[in-house]
Structure 1
Amino acid sequence: MTQERTGKATVGGQPITLVGPELKVGDKAPAFTINKDLMTEASLSDYTGQIKLISVVPSLDTDVCDAQTRRFNQEASKLGDGVVVLTISVDLPFAQSRFCATAGIERVITLSDYKHRSFGEAYGVLIKELQLDQRAIFIIDANDTIRYVEYLGEMSDHPNYEAALAALRELAK
């Protein structure tokens, strides 16, 4: 049975249920299956050997998600070739592509959790009531061990960009 967590997060101040485990620093990053486009899937193993910043957003069509994705896109050029920045949402892949083209997002790889919700369940960010992924940040090292985690308690809050980027830079040294 899939684990459900209550009392951990809200949307507009209303409590929600998160599906999946609460991951911690030092945990092995769980496997997942996600979509690059409608037909092509990706997985964690596609990025083995790279440091991964995974920026999870509910939908790119919201102000905070837009700002979060733009911020990490801006920072991505400063992180070096050994770092990949992934933004994951349940938006359909063609909506993600449209957003990236309109917003000038060129350094962030957008991946969609729309089909299987595999990422959301594996990383404990799937909102049961909405079938969206709750905002979170994960930094995973080249050996697929989690080195930084931030689960946001309220969907509309921004992540701590500076703390995430500091952890990423320390790892990328």
Structure 2
Amino acid sequence: MEAVLGLVVILLGLSHAPVSSVLLVSECLSQGERRVSCSSEGGDSPQYSWTLDGRTLTDAELLSVNNEDNIIILKQHVSGHLVCSVKNNVNSVSKEQKISACAPVTSVLMVSECQFLGQRRVSCSSEGGDSPQYSWTLDGRTLTDAELLSGNNETNNITLKQHISGHLVCSVRNNVSEVSKEQSICTCGE
């Protein structure tokens, strides 16, 4: 009987699957915190651990930890070399990512110039900010395809067709902040 139990234990030990890969996903939250999730493919009974710059994360750096979903939320201004390690009784795999502090969009610059045939090219750029998203309005409403020669409401460079005038606003936002720049434009050639 002991031999059979020993064989069952050995077979159970051999049936464990190794951890094959690790996925690390990071995003900025509204107050400048960073949410990071770690997940693994394959593997029985994975155990997760985190390090920043080669050492265990401290309470001063962590806002919250969700061990059940393998999610951490880092406080504002935390940056460095983040590593999520996943191990089980078969193997260990890790994924690393350089993270920077989540930066708000701080200012917007809008440049407008008339082009050949009365078209107006307008560019919008922002300082600071992670993953900026752009949007445009003219006189309080979204620009239409009838007004745009090139670009769209989500690009930072647009070209307006001839005879378009009004109050143009470029808004730049990310998960941390939103800033707008406005300019009154007149028809080119006038």
TM-score by length of structure 2 reads 0.21
> Which structure has the highest helix share of the two?
1
Structure holding more strand per residue: 2
* Length-normalised TM-score, structure 1: 0.23
- Name the structure, 1 or 2, with higher relative contact order (CA <8 Å, separation 6+): 1
* Structure having the higher Rg: 2
